[in-house]
Structure 1
Amino acid sequence: MSGATYIGISGWRYAPWRGSFYPPGLAQRLELEYAASRLASIEINGSFYALQRPASYAAWYAATPPGFVFAVKGNRFLTHMLRLREVEAPLANVLASGVFALREKLGPFLWQFPPNFAFEPERFEHFLSLLPRDTDAALERALRHEPRMEGRVMLDPGPRRPLRHAVEIRHESFVDPAFVALLRRYKVALVVADTAGRWPQFEDLTADFVYLRLHGDKELYASGYDDAAIAHWAARIRAWRDGGQPPDARLIAQRAPPRRAARDVYCYFDNDIKVHAPYDAQRLIAALQGP
């Protein structure tokens, strides 16, 4: 039995997509519904720039079909500004801001770190220890939100469900087996990030799922993926979702991960500048449906 596969895009509101991916005349308020009718998942990236509101998350839930999954990009205030110092209250704010309104469509949280953020084991482990593993733990932390959040919180997580977290790193100091060991201890996924060679790209398996971000293989955020590249990533996804890893996987740590019968895979195209992302996602979906 293979793991589930969620192929999608990072964000959905891009002006160049209108009249191209989105049909001419389609109202902006219908763009998410349109994208979700053709893709299995979308990464919410507005949450990276600012805390979103419960009404927005509820509207996104309503606009998408059963079985759809959202990944939520963690707020950059924690990762880029505070740089993981004194993040307890800001993390509570993120969890209280409305993510529970996604209900069963709430998928992994993505925590992206800037290129100048170096690996400091103690600080990083403290952050990993704060990340809630299920919605009950998330509610417990969300209740500690700052007073300024009053009037814009949603604190009803519904039935208990597991939560997943993934981290995307961009500094060479993370190429350290101790980093991989930390991720495995806390069952947090290392993002496999194709960044046209700009930042580290490694494929160590550290959780019960894989999180893949395809930013462009030749030009960051801009270049599309040709048929050979799509076939390359389809083969890797098949290996991951069957519980294994590609034989040529680029690894930080040589110690093998715990064996699993299957892993879920989340894959998001972020090469949106030239309207490649939604089409490349559809092509990858088709490739995975083939032999």
Structure 2
Amino acid sequence: MTKSGMIRTGIGGWTFDPWEGTFYPEKLAKKRQLEFASRELTAIEVNGTYYSSQKPATFAKWASEVPEGFIFSLKASRYCTNRKVLAEAGESVEKFLGQGIVELGPHLGPILWQFMGTKKFEPDDFEAFLKLLPKTLDGLPLRHVVEPRHDSFRTPEFIEMLAKHGVAAVCADHHDYPMFPDVTADFVYARLQKGTDEVKSCYPEKQVAEWAGRFKTYAAGGTPVDLPLVSPDRKVEETPRDVFAFFITGGKVNAPNGARLLQSKVA
């Protein structure tokens, strides 16, 4: 995953019809869209893995089409997280991890474990789930990030639990879901979801610049002072850390523009 302290920006997926002729050049073949996107951006969050499994050859093909240093973040299967008892997800977690993701090699980034908005924080059960997430897979280091979307997770106990296991929580800029700006791992993972199709850069340029400043602070080992920490009194070691920032959902038509603009401000 190269040196620590790197900021990568990207989008969700690479196949979206409104990007044809806007983000992608006119008449660019669909089979070359990943090749193009991976040279304009530095990361892509793959949503398709949430809904269905892939073949090892598919992951190998993706890896072969992107340049050195490019990262894929994979959203874990919904069968792992959309369940009443998370402690019972072991078989589903093993199935997801065993489908061939190691074929991505150094292009494998954080694995995103997303939970339904109705899923409440049950400490014992959630920690049992975290214990199911391995640190390595066939010798390949793994990074894990969770995205709870219920306010009951906004408690210092949750933050301490994540730090204990070295797992990050999504710093979600969303109208409804809670934000977790606290640092609990050796990386930070942000999903910027308040964009709009009416703004060419997805987010207004001023807001992109503000997020760029925050990400630079994170990457340098600090914590932004203008984000609402869940556990503000907790001490965090100041050491360089990687940052992954994705323009997702809101303003999807212009998400690539937002990612490129952000990348230019953190380069």
TM range (shorter): over 0.9
- Asked if 1:11 is matched to 2:30, the reply is no
* 1:50/1:280 CA distance change after superposition, 3 Å: same
Q: Report the Cα distance in structure 2 between the residues aligned to 1:288 and 1:177, rounded to whole angstroms.
A: 30
Preserved contact between residue 2 and residue 243 of structure 1 (Cα < 8 Å)? no
Preserved contact between residue 224 and residue 271 of structure 1 (Cα < 8 Å)? no
Give structure 1 regions of 4+ aligned residues with deviation exceeding 3 angstroms: 271-274
- Asked if 1:173 is matched to 2:152, the reply is yes
Match of 1:216 among 186, 194, 203: 194
Q: Report the Cα distance in structure 1 between the residues aligned to 2:186 and 2:252, rounded to whole angstroms.
A: 33
Q: Secondary structure at the match of 1:124?
A: helix
Preserved contact between residue 223 and residue 271 of structure 1 (Cα < 8 Å)? no
TM-superposed CA distance for 1:256, in Å, is 2.3
- Asked if 1:286 is matched to 2:249, the reply is no
Match of 1:254 among 232, 237, 241: 232
* 1:106/1:185 CA distance change after superposition, 3 Å: same
- The CA RMSD over aligned residues, in Å, is 1.9
Partner residue, 1:86: 88
Partner residue, 2:122: 120
Gap regions ≥5 residues in structure 2: none
* 1:33/1:278 CA distance change after superposition, 3 Å: same
TM-superposed CA distance for 1:262, in Å, is 0.7
Q: Report the Cα distance in structure 1 between the residues aligned to 2:55 and 2:238, rounded to whole angstroms.
A: 37
* 1:102/1:44 CA distance change after superposition, 3 Å: same
Q: Secondary structure at the match of 1:20?
A: coil
- Asked if 1:226 is matched to 2:228, the reply is no
Match of 1:188 among 167, 181, 185: 167
TM-superposed CA distance for 1:190, in Å, is 1.1
Amino acid at match of 2:208: I
Q: For 1:241-282, what per-residue CA distance to the aligned partner results, in whole angstroms no more than 9, with x for missing partners? A: 010011222111123243132111011111465511111000
Q: For 1:9-40, what per-residue CA distance to the aligned partner results, in whole angstroms no more than 9, with x for missing partners? A: 11111111112111121111111111001111
TM-score normalised by length of structure 2:
0.93
Q: Report the Cα distance in structure 2 between the residues aligned to 1:274 and 1:166, rounded to whole angstroms.
A: 22
Q: Secondary structure at the match of 1:109?
A: strand
Preserved contact between residue 83 and residue 117 of structure 1 (Cα < 8 Å)? no
Partner residue, 2:30: 28
Aligned residue-pair number: 263
TM-superposed CA distance for 1:218, in Å, is 6.6
Preserved contact between residue 171 and residue 179 of structure 2 (Cα < 8 Å)? yes
Partner residue, 2:134: 132
Preserved contact between residue 2 and residue 242 of structure 1 (Cα < 8 Å)? no
Amino acid at match of 1:252: V
TM-superposed CA distance for 1:89, in Å, is 0.9
- Identity level (%): 41
Q: Secondary structure at the match of 2:40?
A: coil
Match of 1:100 among 99, 102, 105: 102
Amino acid at match of 2:240: A
Partner residue, 1:241: 219
Q: Report the Cα distance in structure 2 between the residues aligned to 1:218 and 1:237, rounded to whole angstroms.
A: 21
TM-superposed CA distance for 1:86, in Å, is 1.6
Q: Report the Cα distance in structure 1 between the residues aligned to 2:252 and 2:237, rounded to whole angstroms.
A: 39
Q: Report the Cα distance in structure 2 between the residues aligned to 1:23 and 1:174, rounded to whole angstroms.
A: 43
TM-superposed CA distance for 1:232, in Å, is 0.8
Q: Report the Cα distance in structure 2 between the residues aligned to 1:23 and 1:81, rounded to whole angstroms.
A: 42
Q: Report the Cα distance in structure 2 between the residues aligned to 1:162 and 1:120, rounded to whole angstroms.
A: 28
Q: Report the Cα distance in structure 2 between the residues aligned to 1:84 and 1:179, rounded to whole angstroms.
A: 15
